[in-house]
Chain A
Amino acid sequence: MPSRIVAGIRGIGHRVVDSVWRLGYASRFFMLTLLKSGTSLRRFGLIIREVYFTGVLSLIIIIVSGLFVGMVLGLQGYETLQKYGAESAVGTMVALSLVRELGPVVAALLFASRAGSAITAEIGLMKATEQLAAMEMMAVDPIARVVAPRFWAGVISMPFLAAMFSAVGVFGGYMVAVVLIGVDEGSFWSQMQGAVDFRYDIVNGIIKTCVFGVAVTAIAVFEGYDASPTAEGVSGATTRTVVTSSLAILGLDFILTSFMFRGMS
């Protein structure tokens, strides 16, 4: 019996040591990516190629989801607000929830599952087919050539995608509330403009998306680089990317919100 308890404690310890080691490895990898990104920033064509794959190809899903999220917010907001006779505040509700929370968070979640998983699978497969090793043989640093451009492309794309998500979402809310239901157009926009502050709401939202962009792409490139070079390993790494980055987005969002909007009216 005591030996079983000891084995259980040993299991916990093993897992803790393992995850701490992995966290340290990931941070060292992140630092290395930043240090070696000079080459890729000088050869900007590499980054543009990756912006096309991570950003431009994610546009459809971002715009369609943004439109539908905004439309649902308009419907639900109207349903609730009209009970209190405040249906003209529906624009404020749609805009504030999109700009502060839903825009950055949902866009980042979609970005993680659309682009993050693709980055992990691509780098993982490169590793499995020994392309990364071949690069090293040719004295080409795979971190500078493969990892850094993908990382910077994700960091650049994320704020633009989230801004488009929010803008399209506000338009969706406008379509439902004003065009379909018939809320007064003037008060819809003027109440929204009165409530949404550029510095506090929009800039804070942009800061959030930048943080999410760094977190998602850093996790994606690390998981790809760290994947076991087998089919199973690549699939596991792709799953881990989506799960870890989704949890990281939600956790970081709570931390950022508690710092940004503390004591706000």
Chain B
Amino acid sequence: MQRATMDLWVGVFVMAGIGALLVLALKVGNMGTYSAADSYTLIGNFENIGGLKVRAPVKSAGVVVGRVADIQFSTETFDALVTMSIDSRYKFPKDTFASILTSGLIGEQYIGLAAGGDDAVLKGGDKIMKTNSAMVLEELIGRFLFDKASENKSSDTDLSGTSGKK
């Protein structure tokens, strides 16, 4: 085979390979939608993070504005220290409220940011002061059962009280 034709085919091969890599990165992966290149970090202390995982989305008004970068246990305050990397296009006021929410009943957990009304904005490395823990199903059920039990108890005493009167 001619040298020139061979070079041409190898060139086409390499370009197709790079094209495939670009398709994988931009169309299949999340490079096109969110890049970690220009972002700043926020820190939040949560009493209970439930099933939150690293790389979970951080959303505000349903729009993905960042990702959870790191989760650690803090031995100073004995709660979870969550580091979020937020797209630097989005700025949030100082009194922003962060809560751990669940998409759907059994869906993945994410951090929801609700903006406050402060004029000053959060900068890189700042701490979000107001946080709300994840909803843990067992605790909810436990509280519900406890409430039910105490309700029954009070209605029982009511009944006995009325019967005693009679």
List A residues at the B interface (Cβ < 8 Å): 45, 48-49, 51-52, 55-56, 59, 95, 99, 157, 159-161, 163-164, 166-168, 170, 189, 192-194, 196-198, 200-202, 206, 265
Tell me which residues across on chain A come within 8 A of B57, comparing CB atoms: 194
Q: How far is the CA of A55 from the CA of B19 in the complex (A)?
A: 15
A170 with B28, Cβ < 8 A, contacts A52-B9, A52-B10, A56-B9 known: yes
Do most interface residues of chain A lie in helix, strand or loop, or is the interface mixed? Answer: helix
Q: How far is the CA of A200 from the CA of B7 in the complex (A)?
A: 34
A45 with B3, Cβ < 8 A, contacts A56-B9, A163-B17, A265-B55 known: yes
Contact B17 A164 (CB under 8 A): yes
A48 with B7, Cβ < 8 A, contacts A163-B24, A196-B30 known: yes
Contact B24 A51 (CB under 8 A): no
**Total CB contacts across the A-B interface at under 8 A:** 86
**17 A-B Cβ contacts within 8 A?**
A48-B6, A48-B10, A52-B9, A99-B24, A160-B14, A160-B16, A160-B18, A160-B20, A164-B16, A167-B19, A170-B24, A189-B27, A193-B29, A193-B30, A193-B33, A198-B29, A206-B21
Do most interface residues of chain B lie in helix, strand or loop, or is the interface mixed? Answer: helix
Tell me which residues across on chain B come within 8 A of A200, comparing CB atoms: 55
Q: How far is the CA of A99 from the CA of B33 in the complex (A)?
A: 18
**Total interface residues in chain B, CB < 8 Å:** 29
A167 with B10, Cβ < 8 A, contacts A159-B17, A161-B17 known: no
Given A160-B18, A163-B20, A194-B57: 19 more A-B contacts, CB < 8 Å: A48-B7, A56-B10, A56-B12, A99-B24, A99-B28, A159-B21, A160-B17, A161-B17, A163-B21, A170-B24, A170-B28, A196-B29, A197-B29, A197-B55, A198-B25, A198-B30, A200-B55, A202-B28, A265-B53
Tell me which residues across on chain A come within 8 A of B10, comparing CB atoms: 48, 51-52, 55-56
Q: How far is the CA of A215 from the CA of B137 in the complex (A)?
A: 49
Q: Choose among B1, B21, B28, B55 the residue that contacts A95 (Cβ–Cβ < 8 A).
A: B28
Closest to B31 in A: A198
Q: How far is the CA of A51 from the CA of B30 in the complex (A)?
A: 31
Contact A49 B13 (CB under 8 A): no
Pairs A-B, 4 closest by C-beta atoms: A160-B17, A167-B20, A163-B20, A164-B20
Tell me which residues across on chain B come within 8 A of A202, comparing CB atoms: 24-25, 28-29
Q: Choose among A48, A49, A56, A196 the residue that contacts B28 (Cβ–Cβ < 8 A).
A: A196
Contact A265 B54 (CB under 8 A): yes
Tell me which residues across on chain B come within 8 A of A45, comparing CB atoms: 3
Give the residues from 1 to 53 in chain B that come closer than 8 angstroms, CB to CB, to chain A.
Answer: 1, 3, 6-7, 9-10, 12-14, 16-21, 23-25, 27-33, 53
Tell me which residues across on chain B come within 8 A of A168, comparing CB atoms: 20
Q: How far is the CA of A202 from the CA of B26 in the complex (A)?
A: 11
Contact A193 B17 (CB under 8 A): no
Tell me which residues across on chain A come within 8 A of B7, comparing CB atoms: 48
Tell me which residues across on chain B come within 8 A of A161, comparing CB atoms: 17
Contact A166 B55 (CB under 8 A): no
CB B4 to nearest CB in A, in angstroms, measures 11
CB A26 to nearest CB in B, in angstroms, measures 29
CB A135 to nearest CB in B, in angstroms, measures 21
Contact B30 A194 (CB under 8 A): yes
Tell me which residues across on chain B come within 8 A of A193, comparing CB atoms: 27-30, 32-33
Q: How far is the CA of A192 from the CA of B7 in the complex (A)?
A: 36
CB A192 to nearest CB in B, in angstroms, measures 6
CB B81 to nearest CB in A, in angstroms, measures 18
A197 with B30, Cβ < 8 A, contacts A52-B10, A160-B13 known: yes
Tell me which residues across on chain B come within 8 A of A166, comparing CB atoms: 20, 24, 28
Tell me which residues across on chain A come within 8 A of B28, comparing CB atoms: 95, 99, 166-167, 170, 192-193, 196, 202
